[in-house]
Structure formats: structure tokens, C-alpha cells
Homo-oligomer: A and B are copies of this chain.
Amino acid sequence: MDNLNETIQLMMNHRTIRAFEDKTLSDEQVKTLVQAAQMAPTSSHRQVYSIIGITDPEVKKELREISGQPYVEANGHLFVFVADHYRHSQLEGFDAEVMTQTFETTEGFVVGVVDAALAAQSLNLAAESLGLGACFLGSLRNDIKRVSELLQLPPYTMPVFGLAVGYPTDEGSQKERLPMDVVYHENTYETEGLKEKIAEYDENIRAYYQSRDENKKDANWTNIILKSLQRKYRYDVDDYVKSQGFLKQ
């Protein structure tokens, strides 16, 4: 690949890290990461998100229990990304009768989730650029209401996911992505040849799982995705987001 600079190399080298040294990030490191995240693009300068840093050991422990993942407790710093329209509702001159509708639509919900995710991916890459590792934690949505209570989130906010950051104790491993021509389409969505391309990808993923030292398994991408699609879970996310004022249209 031509044009490989430091930033693109960093992206191409991404791997999820799920094991961290027992070493806390410094305030300076947290500041650098948050400020880099804040410079991510945001819809119409609205900045529709907040970031909660979790330093209280009791809260980390409870979040670990919710997620079922030990690295939610054992890491260098734990961030929770929150879609946040509450801040806008507190502006001087805010007219609740007219303006809360903007938060309550599906459009408003999308804006908040997108803003949180853009900032989070900047923070994740900034961490990686400093030699740190990270893991996104959708698992906080296993009990989203409880997470919201723990963080004392006000109306018109929603915890979207967590991000555990820290000093890696292993290299992680890189999972091959879908072939580019499955993900990237020109002008219109292309469905032709999809099954054949995925069959080929499945072979590569099977070879990856067979080659691992630990957690070796006989599985391919299709198996793993179908298994995950059988799980009936996080149905309560809908009730929670509605109770926070979203998706009311």
C-alpha cells in the first residue's frame, strides 16, 4: 500500500486489547486523550456527547459485573461515552416546548450516537498512538439502566458504550476484515457474488482460529455471526432510551 504514513500504519495495525497492566493513566494522559477526542467532527458544532471517566473502584467493580468482562475493572482508565442532549436543554433561553422535540426524534437520537462514536474513535486512536491499548465495551448496555443510575445521568442522555484504555500486557491479535469489495460499493449497493466472497472469507477466518495458540476453535465468520444473532438480548435498551426522552416521535 502506497502512502503509508504513521497515522495510517497505526490504523492498519489496530488490535483490541483486553489485558492491561495494573498501572493508572496520569491526569496528563487523560487530558491529552480527551482533548484529542473533543477535536473530532461534531454535527453543526453541537458536541452532543459527554465522556465520563470512572475512577471509583466500587463503580468499576459494578460495571465489570454488568459487562462480565474483567478488563472493565482492571485497566489504566475507563471511559464511558454518553450521547448527551441534556447540556443543550440547560442553555439560557432554551424553550422546552419547541426544542425538546429535536432530541425526541430518531434524527436527534442518531446525531447523539454518531457524535459519541466519532469522539470515541479519536480517543481510541490517540491512545494507540501513545503505545496504549483499548477495548470498546458495548457490554455496558447489558444493563444500561443500571449504568445510567450509577453515573447519575440526567434526561436526554444515554451511555452508548465504554472504552477501557491501558498499558497492554499482550499484543492482542488482529482479526482480518471482510474483503473490501464486500464492504465498499460503487454508486449502488452491490449484492452480486456476496455468498461466494463470504465463503472465501470464512475459510480465512477458520484458518485464523485454527492457528491461534489459545482459544483455538473450529469456526468461521458465518458461524460466529449466526450464533451471536441467536442471542435475544439487550431488549431493554429500547425502554431505557425512551424513558430518557429519546425516540418519542
Interface positions of A (Cβ within 8 A of B): 1-8, 10-14, 16, 28-29, 31-32, 34-36, 38-41, 43-47, 49-56, 59, 82, 86-88, 90-95, 98-99, 101-102, 105-107, 110-111, 113-114, 117-118, 120-122, 124-126, 129-130, 136, 138, 141, 150-154, 157, 160-161, 175, 177-178, 180, 182-189, 191, 194-195, 198-199, 221-222, 224-226, 228-235, 237-238, 241, 247, 249
**Nearest Cβ in chain B — how far from A186, in angstroms?**
5
State whether A229 touches B51 (Cβ < 8 A): no
The answer on a CB contact under 8 Å between A29 and B3 is yes
- A33: nearest chain-B partner, CB-CB: B8
User: What is the minimal beta-carbon distance from A81 to any residue of chain B, in angstroms?
Assistant: 9
Neighbour of A188 across the interface among B2, B107, B151, B189, CB < 8 A: B151
Given known pairs A53-B185, A130-B5, A198-B91, the reply for A180 and B35 (CB within 8 Å) is yes
Report the minimal beta-carbon distance from A63 to chain B, rounded to whole angstroms.
11
CB neighbours of A241 from chain B (8 A): 106
Min CB–CB distance A12 → chain B (angstroms): 6
Cα(A125)–Cα(B6), bound, Å: 12
Whether B247 pairs with A56 at a CB distance below 8 angstroms is no
Which residues of B sit under 8 angstroms from A34, Cβ to Cβ? 180, 183-184
- Give CA–CA (A126, B4) in the complex, Å: 10
B195 touches A92 (CB 8 A): yes
A86 to chain B, nearest CB (A): 8
Asked if A50 contacts B238 (CB within 8 A), the reply is no
The 4 closest A-B pairs by CB, nearest first: A117-B117, A7-B129, A107-B234, A106-B238
CB distance from A103 to the nearest CB of B (A): 8
CA distance A2 to B159 in the complex (A): 30
Q: Which of B35, B152, B237 contacts A189 (CB 8 A)?
A: B152
Question: In whole angstroms, what is the CA distance A157 to B228 when docked?
Answer: 19
What residues of chain B lie closer than 8 Å to A237, measured between beta carbons? 105-107, 110
Interface pairs (6), CB distance under 8 Å: A45-B175, A50-B185, A106-B247, A113-B117, A121-B121, A247-B247
Give the CA-CA distance A218 to B59 in the complex, in Å.
44
A36 to B187 alpha-carbon distance, docked (Å):
20
With a cutoff of 8 Å between Cβ atoms, the chain B residues found around residue A54 in the complex are 187
